[in-house]
Amino acid sequence: MSTCVLGVDSSTQSCKALLVDADTGEVLERRRAAHPPGTEVDPAAWSQALHQVTADLLPRASAVAVAGQQHGMILLDEAGRVIRPALLWNDVRSAPQARRLTEHLGGPQEAARRIGSVPVASYTATKVRWVRENEPENARRIAAVALPHDWLTRELSNGDQLWTDHGEASGTAWYDPAARRWLPEIASWAAGHDIALPRLAAPHQAVGTTSSGAVLAPGTGDNAAAALGLGMVPGDVCVSLGTSAVVSVVSETPAQDGTGAVSGFADATGRYLPLATTLNGAPVLDRVARLLGTDHDGLAELALAAPSGADGAVFIPYFAGERTPDLPEARAQLLQMGAGFGRKTLARAAVEGLACSVLEALEKVLDQTGARAQRVLLVGGGAGSGALRTILAGILGRDLEVPDPEEFVALGAARQAAWVLSGATQPPRWSAARTRIVRADPTPGVYERYLEARNRIYPEGSPHT
């Protein structure tokens, strides 16, 4: 009988669990439960979903790990009770506190040197500071702060100790990725007094056991878990195209980007996972398809029927403003339409614009790390677009590997659980996901025209509206 491990992905929208063969990585069973909507959620709802998806699987698992949505904030009092609803990563009310934290750290470049990133509202420290400034009675009660993954790992444990891993810690803004240690003085600045932080676990360190006797692995954040699930190694690049686009690379060296474009996170293996995030991902294709009165297949057919470069038309896909580059007040633009402009060229320009945005993020990550991309993996909902796959490969000028769809975050958590169970110094080697290779047909000049047009309207770093 095979040894099984359990991997959990507690994301913003839902909790997913995979029961996996520890030796081969074969997924044996799956479970899923929804999370409530919103950017402020009672952690009890996450706990309920966790227990729902693991109830019949955990007794069959020899080890378990939880991967969770990064950042976030769960405040605990002296008795370990939750003080107020958790604030999620996508709650932006703490943007002013992010600016104050950057100033407190000595400016953007010094902040990046100390914590690996320039603070933004997503990060835990900014949210705690917001509570201190707006809910002082709650702030005075803070004894400890947990991230969603830390909280859920403790929910599965027989003990009451909070644990986290270095990947999750690097998204709090009170951790130094280069030195791989907490910076408790920043946590004290945020809360107004000293607070307890979770214990830091090594990547393959057991942190307890469950009531069923399963070994409890430390878990990690969702991006680091996805990298584990995909089997990424140094030099591998992942483009995850969902609501936003996230471009990450496994690196041996930390990133310290004072422009704020690249977040210098740690990964779940002892390495680093610098990443850049755009605000505009697959929904760009949804919007343009609706505008053209078609669906995704129809949009792809139109785009691929138009010539490379869309007869000179350029589409800037900033429907939601943009984070990479930092243009929060920018809006989508359609430029340089010629006499032959029509439905096909609009479709092509939209897909090319999204692909160019991804390439800009990729270049920033590679520039920060000095890495050379070995493989480029494309995952997420946007990977289902044939036009995007083809056009992105051409604009990147390199082949793409598109794995078959899978819950890679939960799979990565399961791989970590198997690693801890094995006692080995390296993660287990599982069969790689089946992939299709999209061959690059380079399209020179498209990216250069995109940057020239974008910079004419929205010079990088300008607050244009």
3-class secondary structure, 335: strand
**65 pLDDT tier (thresholds 50, 70, 90):** very high
The Cα–Cα gap between 323 and 333 comes to 16
* pLDDT at residue 134, rounded to an integer: 98
- 184 has pLDDT over 90: yes
Residues 442-455 have a mean pLDDT of 96
256 is in an annotated binding site: no
Residues 426-433 have a mean pLDDT of 88
* pLDDT at residue 351, rounded to an integer: 98
- 464 has pLDDT over 70: no
The Cα–Cα gap between 189 and 129 comes to 8
52 is in an annotated binding site: no
The Cα–Cα gap between 62 and 209 comes to 10
The alpha carbon of 188 is separated from its chain's Cα centroid by a whole number of angstroms, namely 26
Residues 8-34 have a mean pLDDT of 96
Q: Which residues pair with 73 in a beta bridge?
A: 87
The Cα–Cα gap between 461 and 117 comes to 16
* pLDDT at residue 461, rounded to an integer: 53
- Amino acid identity, residue 370? G
DSSP state string for 44-83? HHHHHHHHHHHTTTGGG-SEEEEEE-SS-BEEE-TTS-B-
The Cα–Cα gap between 239 and 12 comes to 19
Length of the chain: 465
* pLDDT at residue 160, rounded to an integer: 87
Helices 296-305 & 343-369, crossing angle to 10 degrees? 90
Helices 296-305 & 283-291, crossing angle to 10 degrees? 80
Cis peptide bond N-terminal to 274, omega within 30: no
DSSP state string for 84-111? SPEEPTT--TTHHHHHHHHHHTTSHHHH
Which residue has 């340089």 as its token pair? Answer: 336
The Cα–Cα gap between 177 and 166 comes to 8
Higher pLDDT: 373 or 132? It is 132
Average pLDDT, the chain: 94
Domains defined along the chain, listed by start: 4-218 (3.30.420.40), 233-398+434-464 (3.30.420.40)
* pLDDT at residue 281, rounded to an integer: 92
- Amino acid identity, residue 259? T
List, for residues 245-289, the tens digit of each pLDDT value: 999 999 999 999 999 999 999 999 999 999 999 989 999 999 999
The Cα–Cα gap between 155 and 51 comes to 9
% the chain with pLDDT above 70: 98
The Cα–Cα gap between 74 and 88 comes to 9
- Amino acid identity, residue 210? T
* pLDDT at residue 460, rounded to an integer: 66
Of 122, 141, 135, the residue nearest 193 (C-alpha): 141
Residue 32 near residue 14, CB atoms below 8 Å: yes
* pLDDT at residue 465, rounded to an integer: 38
Residue 243 near residue 281, CB atoms below 8 Å: yes
- Selecting among 165, 222, 236, 267, the annotated active-site residue is 222
The Cα–Cα gap between 313 and 336 comes to 5
The Cα–Cα gap between 195 and 416 comes to 29
DSSP state string for 363-409? HHHHHHHT---SEEEEESGGGG-HHHHHHHHHHHTS-EEEEPP--HH
371 CB-side CA count, 13 A:
28
Residue 151 near residue 74, CB atoms below 8 Å: yes
The residues, ordered by sequence, that sit 6+ positions from 37 with a Cβ below 8 Å of its Cβ are: none
The residues, ordered by sequence, that sit 6+ positions from 292 with a Cβ below 8 Å of its Cβ are: 298, 299, 302, 343, 346, 347
List, for residues 88-141, the tens digit of each pLDDT value: 998 989 999 999 999 999 999 999 999 999 999 999 999 999 999 999 999 999
* pLDDT at residue 305, rounded to an integer: 97
Q: Is 297 a catalytic residue?
A: no
3-class secondary structure, 15: strand
Residue 293 near residue 302, CB atoms below 8 Å: no
- 327 has pLDDT over 50: yes
The alpha carbon of 242 is separated from its chain's Cα centroid by a whole number of angstroms, namely 10
